[in-house]
Amino acid sequence: MSERSERSGGRGGSSPHKEHSMTLLQVTDLRLSFGGVRAIDGLSFEVGEGEIVSVIGPNGAGKTSAFNCVTGFYKPIGGSVLLDGTPVTGRRPASIAGLGVSRTFQNPRLFGELSVLDNVRAGTHLWLRQSVFDALLHTPRYRRSEQEATDEAHRWLDFVGLRGERAGLVRNLPYGEQRRVEIARALARRPKLLLLDEPAAGLNHTEKAELLDLIRRIRDLGTAIALIEHDMGLVMEVSERVVVLNFGREIAVGAPAEVRRDPAVVEAYLGRDADEEELAAAREQVRGGREEVRGGTD
């Protein structure tokens, strides 16, 4: 923790246009297919240390698939994923997690029948020093490490601002609180890179504002964040860079303001000009039809 605090102390506030000296995650020419369907087709992007990068795109653009490739849940058929310069393609998820990647899921996947605290203790699994013999003999090291895991769980639950009981089962918490627990669990992993898959989905306005604040505080700890999100307000507000995906490849990368003006992005989200024209023509027709109807009743 002390190391983290020092790192977070070095990063004052949130200046969005900071130089990112080191590339933490580098995805190059990633390809993934599901039985002939190209889910990801030559995707490249990178995330720098301590950076907040949003991955956006229409439904089915391959955002979650890309996350699953990075975290090892899917095996890409081509391309490479480098984490801190180490190739991780083809490794199993636990091993990639060990290299400092932590994630949340599109639908929270908590350990429902376990307590809130136990859920967050899951994050301590990789760094907790405790052997089977410590546990069998209840050595001082066992007691120390258990206390440490509990303290750490409480710290991260405080950090994410959990409201509600911590000793009870996690499935009894309201949805929004479960999302917080999932982030706390991911943070207790002490990751270098945190992947958040639609963290704002299903949250109300207040909760979204709190999430925005939380994401910034996580970044201030020195953790890089890659974010999949549909809430454009949140994305534009919090991101330092935005990667836009469509049909499994990146179509635009840049600062939020640049991306918003990018014609390719506008096209991906709003459709082609031709469609626009068709739409306009259709509107004309409808309007004309209504007038006809109105004329008839008069």
Partner 1 sequence: MSAGDASQEGTPHVEPGPQAGQGAQAGQGPPVKHGPPVKPVRGRGPSVVTRLMETRYLGWIGLAIALGAPLIIATPYALNVMTSAAIFVMLAVGLNIVVGYCGLLDLGYAAFFAVGAYTGGVMAAELDIPLIATVPAVLVVTVVAGIVIGAPTLRLRSDYLAIVTLGFGEIIRICATNLEITGGPSGIYGIPGLFGDDVLTEPAAFYYLTVLIVAVAVLLAARLGRSRLGRAWRFVREDEDAAEAMGVHTYKVKLAAYIGGAVWGGMAGVLFAAHLTAISPPSFTFLWSALVLMAVVLGGMGSTPGVVVGAVFISLAPELLRDLADYRFFVFGVLLILVMIVRPQGLWPHRSQETARTAARSKEPVA
Among 135, 209, 282, 286, the residue binding partner 1 under the rule CB under 8 A is 135
Nearest to 234 by CA among 8, 15, 55, 46: 55
For 124-131, the CB contacts below 8 A with 24+ separation are 124/148, 124/149, 124/152, 124/153, 124/188, 124/189, 126/97, 126/98, 126/189, 127/190
Stretch that binds partner 1, among 26-34, 82-90, 103-111, 257-265 (CB under 8 A): 103-111
Distance CA 69, CA 75 (A): 6
Question: What is the C-alpha to C-alpha distance for residues 173 and 180, in angstroms, rounded to an integer?
Answer: 10
Contact flag: residue 149 with partner 1 (CB under 8 A)? yes
Q: Binding segment for partner 1 among 52-60, 123-131, 242-250, 281-289 (CB under 8 A)?
A: 123-131
Q: Is residue 165 within the footprint of partner 1 (CB under 8 A)?
A: yes
Taking Cα atoms as reference points, which of 56, 48, 57 lies closest to residue 17? 48
Query: Of residues 9, 10, 87, 98, which one binds partner 1 by CB under 8 A?
Result: 98
Total of chain residues touching partner 1, rule CB under 8 A: 54
6 binds partner 1 (CB under 8 A): no
97 in contact with partner 1 (CB under 8 A): yes
What does the angle CA 274 – CA 228 – CA 48 come to, to the nearest 5 degrees? 110
Site membership for partner 1, residue 111 (CB under 8 A): yes
Contact footprint for partner 1 (CB under 8 A): 1, 71, 73, 92-95, 97-98, 102-103, 105, 109-115, 117-118, 121-126, 128, 130, 132, 134-136, 138, 142, 145, 149-151, 154-156, 158-159, 163-169, 185, 189, 217
